[in-house]
A and B are shown apart, each in its own frame.
Chain A
Amino acid sequence: MKFLGYRRNSGRVGVRNHVLVFPTVICAAGVAEMISREVPGTIYLGHQHGCGHLGDERDHMIRTMVGTCANPNVAGVLLVGLGCEMLTADLLGEKLREAGQRVETIATQAMQGTGEAIEEGTELAQKLLEEAKGAQRDQVDASELMVAAKCGGSDTLSGLTANPAMGVACDILIKDGGSAIFTETPEMLGAEHVLAKRAADEEVRRRIWEITSRTDSKIKAMGLDIREAEPGPGNIEAGLTTLAEKSLGAIRKGGTTPIVEVVEYAEKPSKKGLVIMDGPAHDVVGVTGMVAAGAQVVVFTTGIGTPVGSPIAPVIKVSSNSPLYQRWRDNMDVNGGTILDGGETLQSMGERLVEEIMEVASGKLTRAEVLGHREFAIHTIAPTV
């Protein structure tokens, strides 16, 4: 299979050609937003982090921010820093250049305040946008793709229609040399043994048990009960009874191929094939992490409906049932309900999903993109001081 993508200097292939204005710290977010407003066509990517990180969270934040900005869907990045923060524009800029990304940096404290920073930043952002316009799509092999599979706002049909259909799509993509990634460690609890059986080797098996038991014990150590939130109230109303039931349905979206690697949040996989990323079940935080890990396209299955997108990657919405598809026509790209009421098989639905992924990778806009959904949130792992 082939699609039309942007081959980057890093060697990786993008499916979009975004220019980001990215604050390295929340204190620079206002300036970054004002610069982006001056240069239509750029994407401002706000977040709450960049300073006060303790322990492992510093590296975790650097990895996530660098991964986000280095995603091949991004043609160029203007990093906007303040100057006194932990994660400066210079620090992230150097790492992005090492990753082969086109980057410019400014730091507001080195200038005479907001006015000059906007003036300077606007010029740089315009330059990056002009350069990006020169990028051309070329025919590339589907093996260049890493597709993220996510489910959210799940119902009991998610695990019977949209998720297994996405599983078929993952199997097809991986057979063709590509990769798929899924996360949501809390929604692996109760299904760990099923995943562990599919580990490609002993180390992957060990890692699957490690991330699931770590998630389970961390919550318990805080004196909390995951069942307060898993399954969520909407899941229960839709018929999901226990976390194990939700998990067994959720993992079906990864398909049936061996799990070749388990990566940390926002960590770039080193192997091709089916990859698990350790991360929360939170929809936006999960998508952000997988896109930072390098996924160029996201397939998001839902039974109750959720509008979320991504500022970097196209998000394809697949409904688990036809009533949702009809009611949320504006937000849904593909109807998985036809497996129940349209005489479609999981196999043909999975093949249809692969076709959709190829079209979207080649430039077809998803409903989340048309509507302007750009939700973005980074996972935190320590208290911010």
Chain B
Amino acid sequence: MSEAVIVVDEKDNVATALRPLEEGELLQVHIGGRALDVTVLQPIPFGHKIALTDLEKGQPVVKYGEVIGLATQRIGKGGHTHVHNVEGQTGRGDRT
């Protein structure tokens, strides 16, 4: 595979890994026309997401140019972004 990660929309602050990413790896991520350097903070499995910027607690996680959830803790740039640090806001049966 030529690219290690893919970004769907220019507004996205996460990318999807197209192969397992290793801790410490330096990635060049292409977002639209520009390139962004991201160092992988911890191992990220194939298909999982990596933060492209520092995300503060409560900040929206954006993919497809849309909000897919909120960060439940600070996620550093290059961090694994998944169920352990992101919470969806859709269909919240716990909030009725």
Contact = CB atoms under 8 A, between A and B. Distances in A.
B93 interface: yes
Interface stretch (B24-32, B35-43, B82-90): B82-90
A367 B18 CA distance: 27
Interface in A199-229: 216, 219-220, 223-228
Interface in A245-266: 245, 247-249
A174 B82 CA distance: 36
B91 A243 contact: yes
B94 A156 contact: no
Interface stretch (A144-152, A234-242, A287-295, A305-313): A234-242
Given A156-B16, A244-B66, A248-B66, A190 B90 contact: yes
Contacts of B17: 239
Contact of B90 (A157, A228, A244): A244
Chain B interface size, as a band, is 20 to 34
A189 B91 contact: yes
A115 B86 CA distance: 62
Contacts of A248: 63-64, 66, 68
A340 B17 CA distance: 11
B69 interface: yes
A160 B91 CA distance: 23
Contacts of B3: 340
A158 B47 CA distance: 10
B8 to A, nearest CB: 7
A244 B61 CA distance: 11
B90 A243 contact: yes
Contacts of A219: 91, 93
A242 B87 contact: yes
Nearest to A194: B66
A226 B93 contact: yes
A243 B86 CA distance: 12
A333 interface: no
A303 to B, nearest CB: 8
B92 interface: yes
Contacts of A340: 1, 3, 6, 18
Interface of B: 1, 3, 6, 8, 16-18, 45-49, 61, 63-64, 66-69, 81-83, 86-94, 96
28 contacts: A156-B16, A156-B49, A157-B16, A160-B8, A186-B91, A190-B88, A190-B89, A190-B90, A191-B66, A216-B91, A219-B91, A223-B93, A224-B93, A225-B92, A227-B88, A241-B49, A241-B69, A241-B81, A242-B69, A242-B86, A243-B88, A243-B90, A244-B67, A244-B88, A303-B47, A321-B47, A340-B6, A341-B1
Interface of A: 155-157, 159-160, 186, 189-191, 194, 216, 219-220, 223-228, 230, 236, 238-239, 241-245, 247-249, 303, 321, 340-341
